Every structure is written in structure tokens, then in C-alpha cells.
Structure 1
Amino acid sequence: MNGIQRLIPIVVAFFMCVVLPEQASAQAYCALRDPVREVYQLFPQGDRYRTLTATVGPEHRENLSQQLPFTIHFNEFGRHSLYEVFQSGRTAGIIHVRSERGRWGLVEICWALDLNMKVLGFQFQRCRDPQASKLMEGPFPQKLKGMGFDQLKQELSLVESGGEVPADQRALAITILKSGLKTIALTEDVWRDELSEMRARPFAESVFGSEVVSESSELQPIPVPEVGFKLEFKGEWAVRNKSGDSIGTLILTSIDLAGLKGDLWWAIDSERRLKRIDCQGGWPDERSMTAFKQLESRRISDFSDCATAAELAAEAVLEQQESP
């Protein structure tokens, strides 16, 4: 018994020296180590940035698991930082850092994305893989530029099946692609409200002109049960010209129906007409785009007998805008 008691301090010391550091090293470092340098490496034309910090919890991990085409083994919880980069007062893009397990230890990747969650570029913040320089000097980084979530999924499938990159670089390429998918999914989920605010201004300017101001009404999410499919109001913005006169409204909805699942932006002019309808990130197909785009310029009085899901959604949006 005394021998066992003498061993206890040794076991505890071993646990403290070996196990705890291993756990600590497994915690994702999801922030820039040198923001001033790294922000402007990824956005050379940027002139300032701000940091948005949030906590990733179990609810986000569950959403992540439902979207990703692979099992999550790594700890995704904890504090994460998102960097909004500005150029001449407008959002140029965002940066999100992800940490992944690699064959040679943790790999920290800085992702630069546009507001449609398309890849602008990426760079390593930490990577000991001896194949890293070869991979980055090849065509792989350039190929990922412009890819969104679905395109990265397709690329991951190609690389995993043995194509696209040399065999000795394949493991690192797979790590990068999985990191990109997690980055996009987490950014959309964790910073959804902040992204909506970032996206409202360029959408308003594209519809109403460059000299406009959009002001959020802080609309709480409102489901619309009577339309027969999932439709939810996510945000509303009053659009004013530089003189302060109201010239329109922006409404953001989420929608889930056959062939279309995502966020729709609705621009309504001062005469209560639908001026523009856009799908965040682009329309999934020609059919969906045509169904909604043909409703532009209509008023609520034009929807007395709705025959399509698009018309039902448009009527609900215009009724929301008409309500006080």
C-alpha cells in the first residue's frame, strides 16, 4: 500500500506534464497572432480592420455536423475571432483563422473571404508539414480562389479520390479543404447577424445608388407559418439618401422550399414596389431565379391570387413592409 501511495505523486506529475499540455495543444487557436501584419498581407488594399469575438458552443457544433461531409473529431468550442477588413470605409472582406490537426501537429490557416463566403485567399499561420511550401507554390491555392462551400466540397471529394494534387501533398490539401468548409459554415452560423449588417450596405448601394445610408430596425426573427413552407424575416433596414429622405426598405428573409434554401434580400422602393430580389451568394439555378425575378416591380395589390411559392413569399414580404 505504501508503494502505491508513493507512486501517486509520480502519476500526478506525469499527467500534469504530458496529458494536460497535449489537451492544451489541441485547443483551437482561432485568432491572428500578429493581426497588423497578417490582415494587410491578405488584404493589401485594406486601411483598417475591427475584431468581432464570439463563443462557439455545442449548438454551433451541432449545426456544423449537419452541414459538413465528414465527421468532426477536433474541439471546435471556445472563443473565436472574426476580422472585418475595410477599404475606403467599405467592407473589403473578412478573415477567420482555423486550427486543424495535421500529420505534423496543429495547422493554423488564415482564411480571407468575401461577403458571399467565397475564398479570396489563405495562408498558414502555423504549419510544420514539409510539403507545405510545395503545395503553396503549386496551382492549388490559386484554384481555391473564388470557391464557395459547395465548390470546396466538390474539390475535397476529388482530392480524397486521388486527383488534383500530388500524392505526397494530398493529406495537407485535404486538411486545408476541410478547414475551409468549417470556416465558411462556422462564420455563417456564429456571426450571422454581423454578416447581415455588413451585407446590407452593398446591397442597398447596388439597388439605390452609392450615396445612401441603411439603418437597421433591429427586427427580431419572425416566422411566417401561413405560407406553407419555411419563411422567416431576419432583418429590415430603412434606406435613406444623403439628405435623410426615405427612399426604400431592405428586408432579409430565410427561405426553405424545394430547390431553394438560403437567404433572400428584398429591396422595396418608396412606392412600395419590389425593386430587387437577390439570393445571398447567388441563385442555385435558373428556375429559382426566374420565379422570383419576374416579380420585380410588382406591388402588394398585384398578389391577390398567389399561384406560386415565390408569389406567396413576395406577398408576405410586402405585407411586412406595409405593417407599422
Structure 2
Amino acid sequence: MPGEAQALRWCGALALTLTSVALCARVPSQSANELSDAARSVFLAFPQATSFRAIVRDVDLQARIAVEKGLPFKVHFNELGAHSLYVPFRKLEPVGLLYVRTEDGGWGFTEVSWSLSLDLRVLGFRFLRCRSPHRAALQRSPFARSLIGRGFEQLGELLGRDGRLCCRRGDIPAGSEELARALVRSAMKTILVTRTVWRRELRKLRDLALGLQAFPAAQRVLPMALGAMHRDSHLRAVHAVTVFGTADARLGVAVASELHAATTTELRWTLTKDLRVIRVTVVGARCPAALRVACSELAGRRLDDPGRGALSAAARDLDQALREALRVDSRAARPPAVPAPSGRSPR
């Protein structure tokens, strides 16, 4: 496990240049014990991480109103103050998020660390402080496992209008219903606060991860402004970044998209700088075999000449959108490069 010297505060540029703006954090004083607790939580939740950074933000009035409106239950004023979001990195790649919340319940204050994916789905949780006698049983329960992979809306489906939890009988250990409800509310507050307060940082972290996963030698990523996709291609929620390497050489393009057919499938496209397909990968294990075959058939082909496979319409539509975005980008001024952080505390 890396030493605490690697678990330093984030003060300056994020691991790579993210557009022309560096991602910075306001750094308050923090005790050695707090850093040690944060380091333990981060590396337990993300054992693949080699370092982490912390971003501290105050929940301003606008964010407070958005959070209060977005939750299906009331939140106490004092719950929304200064908050820290921890970002674990594997070398230069962000691998997730960690957020610690303190909840007030029947057994006093309960502190929970939530590990999230970059798209704000629950990866896991851990009780840091909890005096409830039902803590261990709940953490091992089917109910706790059912939280994994849920986003904000899916967590909300667990809360009934009468305050009871909507889950299968026997999933929640006897006597732990109150703690289970507090856990669901805590997860929903965690995701909504993170999405609201760190919206810009999240977008840049996702861009960074998208570029590095496609091109591990990336030194800089630049988001592309894509227009609307044609409905007959079934591609939705398309986001792309141009990826640059050393000496600012353009390595290619990385694209995240959703294919809306019988089901919704997330596809990642890795393309050369002239928009030839390096690979198309399916995110997640559940995918029809025919779609995986269609992805493999695109390898080596230009997007504007994808053949007659099941993804040919999607490829042509994506090609048109990317070429238009590249024309726009070529007319824009090139953003300056920002060096990666040294891993040492700023003086």
C-alpha cells in the first residue's frame, strides 16, 4: 500500500490537462488522523489505487436548494456544509470516487464511506463508526448486496411512500430496518451531493478516464462538442474526447455511447485520428453474442465504410458527428498543456 506521502491533498492540475482549465481544490487544514482515516478508506475500497486526491467544496445556496429539491425526503440544514470528495488514481487514471457521510439515527451518529463509480453508481460501502448492534448482520445481508450497481433513481425505488423499504422479505435482517433505511438515504444524499457540487470535476474526471482507457500513453484529453445523433442509428448519450500524446501528437479519439435497441448497452469506441476503428468494446458482462460479433467486425474499418454489420448505421452516424466536431475543434485555439502533479505537497 502506498505511504501517506502519496495520499496528499489535490492542489493544482489534475493528473492530465483536462480541456484548458486545470481542476483545482481549496485545501483546508487537515489533521494527520483525518488523512490516515481517508487513506485507509480509499485503499480498502480501491485496492488497485496507487494514490488519491481530495477535492473540498462548500455546498452553496444554489447547490443546497438543488439537493433539497432532488431528495424525496427532508434533509437537515447542518448536513450540507463543507464536504470532501476523494478521487483514487491508478497511476494517472481515476478509478472511482469515495465520499464519507455522517448520519444521525437511533443509535447516535453513524459514519459511512461510500465508494462510487465515475458514473455515480454504488460500488460498495463500509461502516466507519456505527453503534447499532445490527451493523454486522446488515452489512452481510442480501439487502446490502442489492445496493451495488444502483444509481440515484434505482436507490429511490427502494423507498416506499410510507417510509418502508421495498425489497424482498428476508433480505433485511430482523431489527435492522431503521439502519437499512438510513443507509439508502445516505447513499442517495451521497450521489446527489456529489453530482451537484462536483459536476464540473466529474465531467473532467470522466473525460480523463475515457481517454486513458482507450490510449494508456495519453498526455492530454480534449472533449468534443457533438451534435445530435440520428434516431435510426440507436446511438444515444454519445460523448467523445480527442486524445493527445507526447509532443502534443494526436493519438486518436475515444467515444462513450449508449446503444438503445431491445436493451440499452454501453459501447466504448477507440478510433485512430483519421476515424478508423481500433476496437469497439461492450461495457458490462450482459450482452448478446451477436452484438459482440458486430463490434469485432468493425475493427480496422473506417467509420464511413463500416460494412453491412449490425452497427453500420451507428458507425456512419458517429462518423458524421465526429467529423463535424473535428472541424469545429480545428478552428478553436489549442489549449495550453499543464504538467502532471509531482505527487508532493505544494509549498
Unaligned runs of 5+ in 1: 1-30
Residue identity in the other structure for 1:73: K
Q: Which residue of 2 aligns with 1:194?
A: 201
Assess, with a 3 A threshold, how the Cα gap between structure 1 residues 74 and 102 changes in structure 2: closer, same or farther. same
Q: Tell me if 1:248 matches 2:252.
A: yes
Q: Tell me if 1:147 matches 2:149.
A: yes
State which of 199, 211, 215 in structure 1 corresponds to 2:220. 215
Identity %: 24
Q: Tell me if 1:315 matches 2:315.
A: no
Distance 1:263 1:119 in 2: 18
Distance 2:192 2:300 in 1: 34
Secondary structure at the counterpart of residue 237 of structure 1? strand
Residue identity in the other structure for 2:250: S
State which of 183, 190, 196 in structure 1 corresponds to 2:190. 183
Q: Which residue of 1 aligns with 2:132?
A: 129
Assess, with a 3 A threshold, how the Cα gap between structure 1 residues 225 and 41 changes in structure 2: closer, same or farther. closer
User: Offset of 1:34 from its aligned partner?
Assistant: 1.9
State which of 80, 85, 102 in structure 2 corresponds to 1:82. 85
1:249-277 deviation digits (Å, cap 9, x = unpaired): 23567x79787889875432133224345
8 A Cα contact 2:265 2:287, kept in partner: no
Assess, with a 3 A threshold, how the Cα gap between structure 1 residues 96 and 105 changes in structure 2: closer, same or farther. same
Assess, with a 3 A threshold, how the Cα gap between structure 1 residues 49 and 313 changes in structure 2: closer, same or farther. same
1:110-148 deviation digits (Å, cap 9, x = unpaired): 112343544443223444434334434x33586257433
State which of 36, 52, 57 in structure 2 corresponds to 1:54. 57
Q: Which residue of 1 aligns with 2:172?
A: 165
Secondary structure at the counterpart of residue 168 of structure 1? coil
Distance 2:50 2:312 in 1: 49
8 A Cα contact 2:210 2:256, kept in partner: no
Unaligned runs of 5+ in 2: 1-29, 331-347
1:63-82 matches, within 5 Å, as 71-75=72-76, 77-82=80-85
Assess, with a 3 A threshold, how the Cα gap between structure 1 residues 310 and 88 changes in structure 2: closer, same or farther. closer
1:261-280 matches, within 5 Å, as 266-276=269-279
User: Offset of 1:168 from its aligned partner?
Assistant: 0.6
8 A Cα contact 2:304 2:315, kept in partner: no
Question: Normalising by structure 1, what TM-score?
Answer: 0.63
User: Offset of 1:72 from its aligned partner?
Assistant: 2.6
8 A Cα contact 2:255 2:270, kept in partner: yes
Question: Normalising by structure 2, what TM-score?
Answer: 0.60
Assess, with a 3 A threshold, how the Cα gap between structure 1 residues 167 and 156 changes in structure 2: closer, same or farther. farther
Residue identity in the other structure for 1:191: W
Assess, with a 3 A threshold, how the Cα gap between structure 1 residues 54 and 302 changes in structure 2: closer, same or farther. farther
State which of 171, 174, 189 in structure 1 corresponds to 2:181. 174
User: Offset of 1:175 from its aligned partner?
Assistant: 1.4
